[in-house]
Structure 1
Amino acid sequence: MLAPVNERPTHDWMGTTYQTILAPQETAGAMSITQIIARAHDGPPRHIHHDADETFVVLSGDVEFWLDGTRFTRGPGETAHIPRGADHTYRVCSDTPARALVILSPGGFENFFVEMAQNNYAIPTDMPAITALATAHHLDFTGPPLEDAS
């Protein structure tokens, strides 16, 4: 049996805190839910998950998404669904950190964040190792992080 949510570890990687609150082991691999707290004006490079759908439920802050060339913003109580195989990224567009639940179906990709944090990898200095780990988790980087549109 897994630990209660409030006892599960958090992992910090490049300014974002990750905590898996529903592990794939609890859903027979069907899904996972990771809570993230991301810094203001921060986000990952553009990328594609080849084997998982990703849904964001924004709990606080405002998050701008880029999905296959379309930009849109979601705030508290709103969601964004990213189908597997879709080129996407996001960035916190509020002046405060954003908190969101990230639902992955099937589960498994959340281990990428754990491994990145444990190895203390940094973008761009550790990109060869990051790319290798991403490939093992069925993810390809496709472009830079999202820039402010204003």
Structure 2
Amino acid sequence: MPRTPFAVSLHDAPAFWTLGELLTLIATAEQTGGAFSLVEELLPRGAEPPPHVHHREDESFFVLDGELTVRVGDAVFRAERGSFVFCPRDVPHLLTVHSDTVRMLTLCTPGGLESFFVELGRPAPDRTVPVDEPGPDAERVATLAGHYGAEVLTAWP
């Protein structure tokens, strides 16, 4: 994929409701020649993803607001505003939100995982946390995750 310069305003970037959270696509694999993707997430307490592992990309979180715990393999990190957490590929991780919401930047290297969220979600025109979002179809989530090189775990390993 060719790389060309680009710029985007957070307010103009595409936004999606996926699995109970708001995701705004700041930079996609398509835009970065596959190098990375960068997504802003607004994640409410209770909408955390289940334990999972990525086999194609490393995932990193930079917390802009709120507080959460990130368990990565045997390590546990308390992350609050200004914290950065790196989750290497092939290592299971789990997020637990402690504040009402967490706003964070999620960097995936290389990019491509953002397509999972787009395919699973729906456009979010008002850019708020979705209200009364129907629960996810666990089988569809697991199947689609597998297509994108991720694995949803039924329990912590």
> Do they fold alike, i.e. is TM over 0.5?
yes
- Unpaired segments of 5 or more residues in structure 1? 146-150
TM-score (norm 2): 0.81
Structure 1: how far apart are the matches of 2:55 and 2:19?
A: 23
> Paired residue for 1:108?
112
What is the rounded CA distance, in whole Å, between the counterparts of 2:23 and 2:155 in structure 1?
21
1:128-148 CA-to-partner distances (Å, cap 9, x unmatched) read 222111111001011358xxx
Percent same amino acid among aligned pairs? 28
- 1:121/1:41 CA distance change after superposition, 3 Å: closer
- Whole-angstrom CA distance in 2 between matches of 1:77 and 1:3: 24
Structure 2 counterpart of 1:28: 33
Is the 1:121–1:130 contact (alpha carbons within 8 Å) kept by the matching residues of 2?
no
CA shift, 1:24, in A, is 1.4
Alpha-carbon deviation of 1:76?
0.6
Q: Which amino acid aligns with 1:112?
A: F
Describe the SS at the equivalent of 2:112: coil
Query: Residue 13 of structure 2 contacts residue 24 of structure 2 at CA under 8 Å; is this kept in 1?
Result: yes
**How do residues 23-62 of structure 1 correspond to structure 2 at under 5 angstroms?**
23-62=28-67
Total equivalences in the alignment: 142
Alignment gaps of 5+ in structure 2: 123-132
Residue in structure 2 matched with residue 83 of structure 1 by the alignment: 88
CA contact (8 A) 1:53 1:105 kept: yes
> 2-side partners of 1:31 and 1:121: how far apart?
30
Question: In structure 2, what residue type is equivalent to 1:122?
Answer: G
Q: CA deviation at 1:41?
A: 4.2
5 Å matches for 1:68-147? Answer: 68-94=73-99, 96-118=100-122, 122-123=135-136, 126-144=137-155
Q: In the aligned structure 1, how far is the partner of 2:140 from the partner of 2:53?
A: 17
Q: CA deviation at 1:9?
A: 1.8
Report the equivalent of 1:66.
71
1:148 aligns with: none
Deviation digits for residues 5-35 of structure 1 (CA, Å, limit 9, x no counterpart) = 3212210123210011011122210001000
Q: Give, in whole Å, the separation in 2 of the partners of 1:121 and 1:50.
A: 28
Higher helix share: 1
CA contact (8 A) 2:77 2:85 kept: no
